[in-house]
Amino acid sequence: MGKKRAFWGILMTLWSFVSMVIIPLSTVRALENGIVLQGAHLRIILISLNMGLIFLLGLTVMILTAFSYSLDRKGRAAAMFLKYLTVAYYEWTWAMGIRKLVVMMNGEKIHVGVDLGIWIIIVILGSLLQGILKSIYAYAEASAEK
């Protein structure tokens, strides 16, 4: 059982970093460099996205994921709760980061933005609820073992 848990812990730790840091930030970099769309060079620049904070939050989630697989059951519950709390802040950071965009095409600039409104609040509440329920379950499991 310990080897299987260790394998999944390593896999999920790596995946959390890849899915929260490498893929999103490389996508942002590709958008800023631009693509050719029907013969025109299109660039999208996210003005207010804090990429340093995105990196830091993704790294924090990776570390908390590793802790949630390596600590005892009560420590796992605390690490899980902190992980989902960090994920909720990560989602908020992205939502605030896409509020101001600059689309550049054929020498023209268009200032646009995406306001996710109530939808991002629902997503964040879902993350927090999931974190609370998972950590309560892990803590209850740990208390039942004693």
- For the stretch 117-129, pLDDT in tens is 899 999 999 999 9
Tell me the pTM.
0.87
What pLDDT score was predicted for residue 106? 86
What pLDDT score was predicted for residue 68? 87
What pLDDT score was predicted for residue 4? 84
What pLDDT score was predicted for residue 1? 56
- For the stretch 46-62, pLDDT in tens is 999 999 999 999 999 99
Q: Alpha-carbon distance 104 to 114, whole Å?
A: 16
124-128 contact pairs (CB < 8 A, 24+) = 124/88, 124/91, 124/92, 127/84, 127/87, 127/88, 127/91, 128/84, 128/85, 128/88
